[in-house]
Homo-oligomer: A and B are copies of this chain.
Amino acid sequence: MAKAPILTPQAEDFPRWYQDLINKAELADNGPVRGTMVIRPYGYGLWERMQQEMDARIKDAGASNAYFPLFIPQSYLTREAEHVEGFAPELAVVTHGGGKELDEPVVVRPTSETIINEYFSKWVQSYRDLPLLINQWANVVRWEMRPRVFLRTSEFLWQEGHTAHATYEDARDYAARIHQDVYYDFMVNVLGIDVVLGRKTPKERFAGAINTLTLEGMMGDGKALQMGTSHELGQNFAKAFNTSYLSKGGQQELVWQTSWGVSTRMVGGLIMSHGDDKGLRVPPRLASVQVVVMAIKGDEAVLAKVREIGDVLKAAGVRVQVDDRTDTPFGRRAVDWELKGVPVRIEIGPRDLENGTAMLARRIPGGKEPVRIEELAALLPKVLEEDQETLLRQSRERRLSRTTDVATIEEAAEAALAGGWARIPWATLGAEGEAKLAEQAVTVRCLVMPDGSVPETDDAEGALAIVARAY
């Protein structure tokens, strides 16, 4: 009798595989209020590592963390017309506080441009105060009609950057710097996801922005996921909140602004990029546990050895966990570590001890082989780097093999509906073609230049549209 698979196979039902993995690897649960989620310790560990890596890059880009209130007066949102139009349908509204009905209802922040501009307009006085570069790690709420854990949740965790600059050029360059040096660098070099850098079409732009830069990843089923965005806000919020400064020349000028964010949605992207039918595969540079050292049996000598190896590997700079829970069957623990996607398992039993060897099981390429125990500390950093590269290479190969160059709107729709990306000249597609694709739930993910660079205008000559179904 064949064993029932632990997860629904991807090929059978990708969305169900995703949900199965999240449950069985103990990443998250659905919350009691529709669309909310509980992030369990192992899932939160992924987010914590993402935060650490991102936070260091954000600080390198010169921004400082701060914190703005969760509650925003309803009147703030209405000051920027496009912004309120975009967010009104998703708002959660607090009407009662401290046992009384409030005079003015407050909204739970869906994003913080408005409340932040209220303060920027006080803090920014002179050109000396610019650029003002602020980042916030926070929860936000956007009421979600079709929730899916990590991907679309009514409450999610994110960072949101908000900056003010003296000139258009400085703001534009900063939005591009975050896009490239912070987000792209992190997603490619830590997450191992071969995202595409692009520009959103006017239709897909952030509500209130003059330009939205995006990073799009191809998931295991060929659909696209927007992994992060960096916006040029122009002077739209500066006008609405009168955020201005005294220039060197003695003139009162409006600032130019950016905002940019990535969220717990990246955890969903990680799962759908690297997961397989056995579970998650975590890139070593992200993993909070890179190596688990497992005692096969509760033999005293074995337990002593796994702990010793744990210490040696820790000293070698490896993020290691010792699994000595030998009251749980070994097979069950091994399957659990596979589900959780820990890159390397080192398995040791009494016979291995006699031979001076351990079994090295690699989650990313798969396979097991015996290795001499004294060689582990030197070997593992190399193995982990190799695995990191493998994930990125696989992500890139998938994207290249499942992206088709097409010449017509019909071909673009066909390629997207078949589970891939289509690349079509934007001059051929245009806003009309975009609307037509939307009828089949196919969207323009972004515009790119043929050399891979990001178009500088909405109608840059030669720009290509990447077209796909998306999460």
Instruction: Give the residue of B36, B76, B89, B97 whose beta carbon is less than 8 angstroms from that of A71.
Output: B36
Per-residue interface assignment for chain A, residues 100 to 137, with 1 indicating a CB less than 8 Å from any chain B CB and 0 otherwise: 00000110100000010011001000001000001000
Interchain CB contact under 8 A, A88 and B99: yes
Q: Which of A37-45, A294-302, A356-364 contacts B (4 or more CB under 8 A)?
A: A37-45
Q: How far is the CA of A38 from the CA of B134 in the complex (A)?
A: 12
Residue A157 lies at the interface, judged by CB distance under 8 Å to chain B: yes
Per-residue interface assignment for chain A, residues 153 to 182, with 1 indicating a CB less than 8 Å from any chain B CB and 0 otherwise: 011010000000000000000000000000
Interchain CB contact under 8 A, A67 and B88: no
Residue A247 lies at the interface, judged by CB distance under 8 Å to chain B: no
Residue A31 lies at the interface, judged by CB distance under 8 Å to chain B: yes
Residue A328 lies at the interface, judged by CB distance under 8 Å to chain B: yes
Interchain CB contact under 8 A, A328 and B128: yes
Residue A138 lies at the interface, judged by CB distance under 8 Å to chain B: yes
Interchain CB contact under 8 A, B29 and A69: no
Interchain CB contact under 8 A, B106 and A97: no
Instruction: Point out the residues of chain B lying under 8 angstroms from A41, CB to CB.
Output: 64-66, 134
A interface: dominant SS: mixed
Per-residue interface assignment for chain A, residues 65 to 79, with 1 indicating a CB less than 8 Å from any chain B CB and 0 otherwise: 111111111001000
Per-residue interface assignment for chain A, residues 50 to 72, with 1 indicating a CB less than 8 Å from any chain B CB and 0 otherwise: 00000000000000111111111
User: Interface range on chain A: under 10, 10 to 19, 20 to 34, or 35 or more?
Assistant: 35 or more
Residue A143 lies at the interface, judged by CB distance under 8 Å to chain B: yes
Q: How far is the CA of A285 from the CA of B65 in the complex (A)?
A: 20
Interchain CB contact under 8 A, A36 and B69: yes
Instruction: Give the residue of B44, B89, B138, B328 whose beta carbon is less than 8 angstroms from that of A65.
Output: B44
Residue A145 lies at the interface, judged by CB distance under 8 Å to chain B: yes
* Distance between A136 CB and nearest chain B CB, rounded to angstroms: 9
Residue A372 lies at the interface, judged by CB distance under 8 Å to chain B: no
Given A39-B67, A70-B141, A94-B93, are A106 and B45 neighbors across the interface (CB < 8 Å)?
Answer: no
Residue A98 lies at the interface, judged by CB distance under 8 Å to chain B: yes
Residue A84 lies at the interface, judged by CB distance under 8 Å to chain B: no
Q: How far is the CA of A122 from the CA of B88 in the complex (A)?
A: 36
* Distance between A149 CB and nearest chain B CB, rounded to angstroms: 12
Instruction: Give the residue of B38, B48, B119 whose beta carbon is less than 8 angstroms from that of A119.
Output: B38
Q: Report copies per complex.
A: 2
Interchain CB contact under 8 A, B99 and A67: no
Instruction: Point out the residues of chain B lying under 8 angstroms from A45, CB to CB.
Output: 64-65
Interchain CB contact under 8 A, B92 and A97: yes
Nearest CB in chain B to that of A264: its residue: B67
Q: How far is the CA of A138 from the CA of B139 in the complex (A)?
A: 8
Q: How far is the CA of A144 from the CA of B70 in the complex (A)?
A: 15
Give the most central of A45, A76, A93, A134: most B CB within 10 Å: A93
Q: How far is the CA of A76 from the CA of B32 in the complex (A)?
A: 10
Residue A440 lies at the interface, judged by CB distance under 8 Å to chain B: no
Instruction: Give the residue of B67, B71, B139, B155 whose beta carbon is less than 8 angstroms from that of A33.
Output: B71
Instruction: Give the residue of B66, B94, B95 whose beta carbon is less than 8 angstroms from that of A40.
Output: B66
Instruction: Give the residue of B36, B47, B65, B96 whose beta carbon is less than 8 angstroms from that of A92.
Output: B96
Residue A327 lies at the interface, judged by CB distance under 8 Å to chain B: yes
Residue A85 lies at the interface, judged by CB distance under 8 Å to chain B: no
Per-residue interface assignment for chain A, residues 330 to 370, with 1 indicating a CB less than 8 Å from any chain B CB and 0 otherwise: 00000000000000000000000000000000000000000
* Distance between A355 CB and nearest chain B CB, rounded to angstroms: 31
Instruction: Give the residue of B29, B69, B139 whose beta carbon is less than 8 angstroms from that of A70.
Output: B139
Nearest CB in chain B to that of A139: its residue: B70
Interchain CB contact under 8 A, A44 and B67: yes
Residue A458 lies at the interface, judged by CB distance under 8 Å to chain B: no
Residue A90 lies at the interface, judged by CB distance under 8 Å to chain B: yes
Q: How far is the CA of A88 from the CA of B98 in the complex (A)?
A: 8
12 of the cross-chain contacts (CB-CB < 8 Å) are: A32-B72, A41-B64, A44-B64, A44-B66, A71-B92, A71-B154, A71-B155, A88-B99, A91-B97, A91-B99, A92-B94, A97-B154
Besides the known contacts A89-B99, A92-B97, A128-B325, 14 further A-B residue pairs in the complex with CB atoms under 8 A apart? A32-B72, A33-B69, A41-B134, A70-B141, A70-B155, A71-B92, A71-B141, A89-B98, A91-B97, A91-B98, A92-B94, A93-B97, A95-B96, A98-B143
